[in-house]
Structure 1
Amino acid sequence: MHPVVEAVTRRIADRSAAGRSAYLDRVRAAASRGPARGRLGCGNLAHGFAAADPTAKAALRAGLKPNVAIVTSYNDMLSAHAPYADYPPVLKQAVLEAGGIAQVAGGVPAMCDGITQGRDGMQLSLFSRDVIAMSAAIALSHDMFDGTLMLGVCDKIVPGLLIGALSFGHLPTVFVPAGPMASGLPNAEKARVRQLFAEGRVGREELLEAESASYHSRGTCTFYGTANSNQLLMEVLGLHLPGASFTSPDTPLREALTRAAAARVTRLSLEGAPGIGEIVDERAVVNACVALLASGGSTNHTLHLVAIARAAGIVLTWDDLAELSAVVPLLARIYPNGQADVNHFHAAGGIAFLIRTLLEHGLLHEDVRTVLGRGLAAYACEPRLAADGEVTWVDGPSVSGDRAVLRPADDPFSPDGGLRVLHGELGTAVIKTSAVAPEHRVVTAPAMVFDDQADFLAAFQDGECDGRDLVAVIRYQGPAANGMPELHKLTPALGVLQDRGFRVAIVTDGRMSGASGKVPAAIHVTPEAALGGPLSRVVDGDLITVDADAGRLVLHVATEELAARPSTGRAPHDEELTGTGRELFSAFRATVGSADTGASVFTALTQPQESPVAQRV
């Protein structure tokens, strides 16, 4: 093992010893009691199989076969989740053939950040992750199940499903992806049209045509944002079958992989194999971090991986990620870190090659549990469709099929993973540098301060941002303020200013999404402005340095002067956060943890802290 990877893993394990031990005690106690279905009263059990077909009803009544829960994020509005309409009958039949029974235990909400960008609904996005975790827990709470199939793809859905599954950590669990849509309009052209629209040089019709050519069919969006980062991480965590992540929908191989996932969880249940809580350990969490960094994945996972780890009793910090990033090379160029999409990445060797080269260079732990029952080396294989229509696996490529997209660890695009933690007078933030040109990674400029992204966009349209270097401070966007929306809609405008030759950066306690792009963005700033963080005392004209190279976020204001300043602006009050369902989430805003602890309403379960309500300014 690489000494830094080994040291970080050991430090995480030591730090997490008490919490991890308590978590595993709960998981093993639940496993030792056996299926709870056997202890249900007759009325309870009758309710549990009342709607089943005769074959399933007889099997559930006898209690001799494992019952597999299907938890699905299906809806037919979102391209990534629309394929799941066809999955339950396929999964049920495959489970039956493998010796079990399956029931759709419940559904979880699935919202799309692409639809809600710049809209009030985006303020529910991050909170939806924890709602999904609770929804998954409700689905499994009937105690009818011996294993679980989790169906989900996009931004908050997969982390939420995983957190929910970890609360039933004794159950063998396999995640079942749906795959990416076919490649559409090239990413460079899509970005060009977006920027032209931001400049007013093309109209809405031209923009809509470009967007429609990009997002055009069933499957995930093909850029490497949070959705596709999710899929890669589930595979590296050993929770998918090898090669499942980026096999396209509506293909024979996709269906074969879906059937194989159902058969696999049935076998695990029959064998009494360890549950998902045993698989997601410290080594697996570090593997996920390494793969995220090596692939240039979504900054949203600086929140999600922390929250997922805590759900398994493991304390992961941003500094752990930063230390790993310093030694993990960047091996992929996928939009927004390059022009290729995930289909090009998959064709070049994809996850199988990525895992192989990282293992060869000691950057991943091979000796982990996976749903295959074998170590991570099995995930350097690729699926193939056999003559009988079933899936088989062959060795994955040992060389990249396209070195402009995917490279080996000894010849990377960059020697580091492109994720840095910034510290300084403004607090702690993260920045993704893999898509930012080296000449733009250090910016010192006067602040332009806004309390809402709409105010910045209005200033841009009015020409107030022209002809100057600037650091756009977009504050009161943290989880306790308004749910921590993504501010990706700002990227085209900021890109216009940078392309005009000005030094530009953004500093925010909000998010910039998995599509963080070419403008340096110090995001997830904590402590957030709504809780009295230094951002609340920044004023127009203050000189700020965003230094991604040195890991600094500097406010060039004397400490005494800053301390004496009152807060300016304010977070929106609850009575202002109404409509689009936002009034239902006031309890979440009042109890949510900080960004560096995962921005979760469950944070207090592993790290008690003062309620944000008491701290709010």
Structure 2
Amino acid sequence: MSVHPVVTEVTARIAARSAASRSAYLQRLTESHSEGPVRRDLACSNFAHGFAGITGGDKEALRALRRPNVAIVSAYNDMLSAHQPMDEYPAWIKDAARAVGGVAQFAGGVPAMCDGITQGRAGMELSLFSRDVIAMSTAVALSHDMFDSTLLLGVCDKIVPGLLIGALSFGHLPAILVPAGPMHSGLPNSEKARVRQLFAEGKASRENLLEAEAASYHSPGTCTFYGTANSNQLVVEVMGLHLPGASFVPPGTKLRRALTEEAARRAVEISRGEDYTPIGHVVDEKSVVNGVIALLATGGSTNHTMHLVAIASAAGIELGWDDFADLSAVVPLLTRVYPNGSADINHFQAAGGVGFLVGTLLDAGLLHADVRTVAGPGLDRYRQEPVLVEGVLTWRNGPGRSLDLDVLRPASEPFAADGGLRMLSGNLGRAVLKVSAVKPEHRVVEAPARVFTSQEAFSAAFQAGELEHDVVVVVRQQGPQANGMPELHKLIPALGVLMDRGFRVALVTDGRMSGASGKIPAAIQVTPEAAVGGPLARVRDGDVLRVDAETGTLEALVDPAVLADRDLVDFPPDAQAWTGTGRELFGALRRSVGPADRGASVFGPIAASHFAGRANQEVTR
């Protein structure tokens, strides 16, 4: 099957605009690569420090420069359910690497915070910045020049993108991502959402709410809804950075352990020689486009409209929101997983999982097959699924048809003809809207604005009965430079109540909503943000706003001269308010972070100076 012409065209234009930066990146990889272990060039004192803590045969192997050395970089902690299973991984990895003639060392840990715990609290304002801290922590771990390849242990939200960005700075090293898998299904997500909405209305107690939440998040493993964590796993597998079928095998199973051990063996194999597969060559223009298509075809997390841009940039590739928009127009929606359906990620896996998804997209010409992966050349390998046969790991062909058409469909019979994300633009800037869970009749909203600068102010107005009408809720000063761009999920239950009461409701914000925005049409990640003088800072209560996911527009229906003549409200934001819970330690990142449509990153020339210039252009246009 030939590749769809739009996929081909978008890939070609990404490559063209990235030619200079990608060439420079690849040249850096060439200069960093060595035919033998790079540690051979360390001075004796430096080298001795690198193996002083090892005992036995591994020490002699490293000292003699005989074996590949695999770096383990892990986000393990025992508080977060998604990362708790990784406690045992380093021991398994070391044994498996040793068995095939390699050595593995625990090179370093990276922080892993949970957006589920920090929702609505000050700690959430550190969440997006934690991605770049993780990238820097990964670089610190790999900076000792002791390693020939890398295993990246991580699962959730900012953690996988951070690990990838850091590893791509050492793009001459092969790297494999190693997940932990989802927890077993608990309370259905739809029931959890129902209880949350009842609590917002005052019809359920805190005890009722806690019981529902504890029944949903109940054991080690990743949360089972299709938010950023599970979007991470699916996207990076389709990009060829997991072993085939590794994403959604539950923790605590023999197959999960076998896949972890195989990742260690494979890291040794691809460290040098004919199988040498550096991550900087795996992540290329085609791989990035494959990741975007996987996201769109599954209605995945809106966070990846920033994370994939930042990951691509780390590999010298310039990915933009227009690329997402053009691909979304031709990529069908093939899954219904909560919040855009009642099933969870375990149901998706049982219906055919990533193997079926990759197969049907390849057959439809919607993925590039001719890519490099950690499993070898070509994406066809990712049609397969892992199994244990008499205790031995092997791969077999995945199902040729979906085993549940209510959850997973072939490209020839999609849930919708186009992808689950929309890019909006207009006189309020640019934004992202996730439509996969929004019913068609709710995708166009034109109503008076009610403006807030915090979730708490919105909640107070809701409780006071001030929002009992058609309304476009604007929550500004929530962008990267304002306060770190927190996720704003505390808004959703109340907005859902208003929608269920028959009002036309939408949300417009320069903050984030992640993969769980649900049934509310939410124009999020508005850029330029209000904190740099973006048009949101000129919106007033009562202005009629139009959020139109069908035409891709985001407009204030206000006379342009009147809008331009208005003062910028709450501009600049109060820097003194951003203290406590460690926020003051991140002030330098807040001042230098770039715009959402360029990855909301603190790295490179696309950060603050670019952002400020663009905002000024928008405001004065």
Q: Same fold (TM over 0.5)?
A: yes
Picking from 244, 250, 253, the partner of 1:251 is 253
**Which residue does the alignment assign to 2:382?**
379
Picking from 161, 165, 168, the partner of 1:166 is 168
Picking from 441, 444, 449, the partner of 1:442 is 444
Q: For 1:70-469, list aligned pairs within 5 A.
A: 70-271=72-273, 273-387=276-390, 389-466=391-468, 468-469=469-470
**Secondary structure at 1:609 match in 2:** helix
How far does the alpha carbon of each residue in 1:335-384 deviate from its partner, in whole angstroms, 9 at most, with x for none?
Answer: 00100000000000010000000000000000000001121000000100
Note if 1:62 corresponds to 2:64.
yes
Equivalent position amino acid for 2:486 in 1: P
Question: 1 CA distance for matches of 2:607 and 2:615?
Answer: 20
Equivalent position amino acid for 2:67 in 1: K
Question: 2 CA distance for matches of 1:260 and 1:390?
Answer: 11
Equivalent position amino acid for 1:228 in 2: N
Q: Which runs of 5+ in 2 are unaligned?
A: none
**Which residue does the alignment assign to 2:473?**
472
Pairwise CA distance, 1:36: 2.2
Note if 1:531 corresponds to 2:532.
yes
Question: 1 CA distance for matches of 2:609 and 2:480?
Answer: 17
Pairwise CA distance, 1:516: 1.3
Question: 1 CA distance for matches of 2:78 and 2:464?
Answer: 39
Picking from 19, 22, 25, the partner of 1:20 is 22
* Matched-pair contact (CA < 8 Å) for 1:367–1:375: yes
**Secondary structure at 2:506 match in 1:** strand
Question: 2 CA distance for matches of 1:15 and 1:357?
Answer: 30
**Secondary structure at 2:312 match in 1:** helix
* Matched-pair contact (CA < 8 Å) for 1:175–1:240: yes
**Secondary structure at 1:505 match in 2:** strand
**Secondary structure at 2:525 match in 1:** strand
Pairwise CA distance, 1:177: 0.6
Question: 2 CA distance for matches of 1:349 and 1:236?
Answer: 14
* Matched-pair contact (CA < 8 Å) for 1:547–1:553: yes
Question: 1 CA distance for matches of 2:419 and 2:235?
Answer: 15
Pairwise CA distance, 1:605: 6.4
Equivalent position amino acid for 1:501 in 2: G
Equivalent position amino acid for 2:307 in 1: H
Question: 2 CA distance for matches of 1:590 and 1:12?
Answer: 29
Question: 2 CA distance for matches of 1:458 and 1:572?
Answer: 21
Question: 2 CA distance for matches of 1:69 and 1:196?
Answer: 48
Equivalent position amino acid for 1:275 in 2: P
How many residues align structurally?
615
Q: For 1:566-577, list aligned pairs within 5 A.
A: 566-570=567-571, 572-577=573-578
Pairwise CA distance, 1:274: 2.9
Equivalent position amino acid for 2:160 in 1: V
How far does the alpha carbon of each residue in 1:188-212 deviate from its partner, in whole angstroms, 9 at most, with x for none?
Answer: 1111000000000001000000000
* Matched-pair contact (CA < 8 Å) for 1:471–1:507: yes
**Which residue does the alignment assign to 2:500?**
499
* Matched-pair contact (CA < 8 Å) for 1:590–1:611: no
Q: Which TM-score applies when normalising by structure 1? A: 0.98
The 1:607–1:556 alpha-carbon spacing in structure 2 relative to 1, beyond 3 Å, is closer
**Which residue does the alignment assign to 1:595?**
596
Equivalent position amino acid for 1:531 in 2: V
Equivalent position amino acid for 1:506 in 2: L
How far does the alpha carbon of each residue in 1:300-331 deviate from its partner, in whole angstroms, 9 at most, with x for none?
Answer: 00000000000000001101001000100000
* Matched-pair contact (CA < 8 Å) for 2:340–2:437: yes
How far does the alpha carbon of each residue in 1:480-526 deviate from its partner, in whole angstroms, 9 at most, with x for none?
Answer: 11000000111101000000000000000000111111000000100
* Matched-pair contact (CA < 8 Å) for 2:187–2:216: yes
Identity of aligned residues (%): 67
Question: 1 CA distance for matches of 2:610 and 2:341?
Answer: 41
**Secondary structure at 2:459 match in 1:** helix
**Secondary structure at 2:472 match in 1:** strand
Q: Which TM-score applies when normalising by structure 2? A: 0.97
Question: 1 CA distance for matches of 2:611 and 2:518?
Answer: 35
**Which residue does the alignment assign to 2:522?**
521
**Secondary structure at 1:604 match in 2:** coil
Question: 2 CA distance for matches of 1:443 and 1:414?
Answer: 21
How far does the alpha carbon of each residue in 1:417-440 deviate from its partner, in whole angstroms, 9 at most, with x for none?
Answer: 021111111011110111000000
